[in-house]
Chain A
Amino acid sequence: MKVRVHISLKPGVLDPQGRAVHHALEGLGFKGVEDVRIGRTISLTVADDTNDEQLDEMCRKLLANMVIEDYRIEKVEG
Chain B
Amino acid sequence: MRAAVITFPGSNCDRDMVVAIERIGGTAPLRVWHGDTALPDGLDFIALPGGFSYGDYLRSGAMAANSPIMREVVKAAEAGVPVLGVCNGFQVLAESGLLPGALMRNRSQHFICRDALLRVENTDSVFTRGYEQGQTITIPVAHHDGNYFADAETLDRLEGEGRVAFRYTENYNGSQRDIAGILSASGNVLGMMPHPERAVDAAHGGTDGKVLFASILGLLEAA
Q: Which of A17, A62, A63, A65 contacts B105 (CB 8 A)?
A: A17
Q: Please list the 10 inter-chain residue pairs (A to B) with the smallest Cβ-Cβ separation, ordered nearest first.
A: A67-B102, A68-B102, A16-B107, A16-B109, A65-B102, A65-B59, A68-B149, A20-B109, A16-B105, A67-B101
Asked whether, in the complex, the Cβ of A14 is within 8 Å of the Cβ of B107, the reply is yes
| A67 and B66 form a contact (CB under 8 A) | no
Q: Which residue of A17, A63, A67 is within 8 Å of B149 (Cβ)?
A: A67
Query: Quick one: which of A20, A63, A68 has the most chain B CB within 10 A?
Result: A68
Q: How far is the CA of A65 from the CA of B147 in the complex (A)?
A: 15
On whether the beta carbons of A62 and B101 are closer than 8 Å, the reply is no
What are 14 of the A-B contact pairs (CB < 8 Å)?
A: A13-B149, A14-B104, A14-B107, A16-B106, A16-B174, A17-B105, A20-B109, A62-B62, A62-B66, A65-B59, A65-B95, A67-B149, A68-B102, A68-B149
Query: Which has the most chain B C-beta neighbours within 10 Å: A13, A63, A65?
Result: A65
Task: Scan residues 141-175 of chain B and give those whose CB is less than 8 A from a CB of chain A.
Answer: 147, 149-151, 174
Interface string of B171-184 (1 = CB under 8 A from A): 00010000000000
Chain B residues with CB under 8 Å of A62's CB are 58, 62, 66
| Complex contacts, B108 vs chain A, CB 8 Å | 16
Give the residues from 33 to 50 in chain A that come closer than 8 angstroms, CB to CB, to chain B. Answer: none
Residues on B with C-beta less than 8 A from A13 are 104, 149
Query: In chain A, residues 53-67, which have Cβ atoms closer than 8 Å to a Cβ of chain B?
Result: 61-63, 65, 67
Interfacial residues, chain A to chain B (CB-CB below 8 A) = 13-14, 16-17, 20, 61-63, 65, 67-68
- Chain A residues with Cβ under 8 A from B95's Cβ? 65
Most buried by A among B94, B102, B147: B102
In whole angstroms, how far apart are the Cα atoms of A2 and B59 in the complex? 23
Given A14-B174, A16-B174: A65 and B107 within 8 A (CB)?
no
Please tell me if the beta carbons of A65 and B62 are within 8 angstroms of each other in the complex. yes
Contacts of A67 in B (CB 8 A): 94, 100-102, 149-151
A17 to B174, CA, bound (A): 13
